[in-house]
A and B are shown apart, each in its own frame.
Chain A
């Protein structure tokens, strides 16, 4: 018998403990089942979440934010102030629930300023952005994003 075959054969009689320790687990079949079950569970959660919260979805935009009270933005030589109540939003024709679809194209990056306005145009890229508004409003409205907070801002005559 070839030497390596003999080694392979003799390997048969090693201590049972070692053979038992290395028993292949039927993990593959079980794993697949678990993966699918987890996927299904996630899908259910997503569906339930969407259904339960879809209607009363918290607005992406935050018009009721008093922190935005009186915040002024200077853009293209025009001044805008933040709409901070739902009444004000409705008054210009914004929907009651303000969501992502209201956000239009990116117009400019903004920065904080201490002068005439609180926000002015920035020369480089910042985490403050100005967007157009997709809704046909009665007055000129833009959307301002500062980090995670969104505010509709309405133009005022100087």
Chain B
């Protein structure tokens, strides 16, 4: 079913909205959640929570791209869940490794956080990504948005794992320099 039609179901408050969403994007959301949580059960739960969130958000939201709208919710929920789980049991899994990798991009700073800074960082990230060559950008996003293991990325793109690691390393360096240059302190 067309995204537009599905969104219309949400606006009509028809329960069919959820079943249609689940049919079309259930697998995608579970995959996003699974990459982070490495548990089919947890992934299923986060996916169901995503539908609920979507139901509450639409209306008034009218997403242009339903897939990524849902994906972002799932990723966020999954990261929340991951934090909770890892607080209980130390480390392991893809997210730890990814966090370690990202630590390289973080220029030194003080500890203040603010919503205004968040907006700046988001902007900088978008501009940074736009300036990357397409393949590099895809690999970067697969790693840091989807949190796919390097092996999986290498297989899908037909590269060696080494090539993927090196590409990611160089791009992280680039990101760090970009953030530093823009005076963004995390």
Contacts of B98 in A (CB 8 A): 8
| A21 engages B103 (CB within 8 Å) | no
Contacts of A22 in B (CB 8 A): 137-138, 141-142, 145-146
Q: Is A4 an interface residue (CB 8 A)?
A: yes
Q: How far is the CA of A31 from the CA of B79 in the complex (A)?
A: 31
Contacts of A2 in B (CB 8 A): 99
Contacts of A26 in B (CB 8 A): 27
Contacts of B129 in A (CB 8 A): 14-15, 18
Q: How far is the CA of A23 from the CA of B71 in the complex (A)?
A: 10
CB distance from B176 to the nearest CB of A (A): 10
CB distance from A83 to the nearest CB of B (A): 54
CB distance from A17 to the nearest CB of B (A): 8
Contacts A19-B68, A19-B71, A23-B67 hold; do A10 and B121 have CB atoms under 8 A apart? yes
| A14 engages B122 (CB within 8 Å) | yes
Q: Please report the total number of A residues contacting B with Cβ < 8 Å.
A: 27
CB distance from A147 to the nearest CB of B (A): 39
Contact of B141 among A4, A13, A19 (CB under 8 A): A19
Q: How far is the CA of A6 from the CA of B125 in the complex (A)?
A: 13
Question: Which of B28, B71, B141 counts the most chain A CB atoms within 10 A?
Answer: B141
Contacts of A13 in B (CB 8 A): 72, 122
| A11 engages B144 (CB within 8 Å) | yes
| Leading 5 A-B pairs by shortest Cβ distance | A22-B141, A16-B68, A3-B186, A4-B102, A4-B103
- Residues of A that sit less than 8 Å from B by CB: 1-16, 18-28
8 contacts between A and B (CB under 8 A): A3-B186, A4-B100, A10-B121, A10-B125, A14-B129, A15-B129, A20-B65, A22-B146
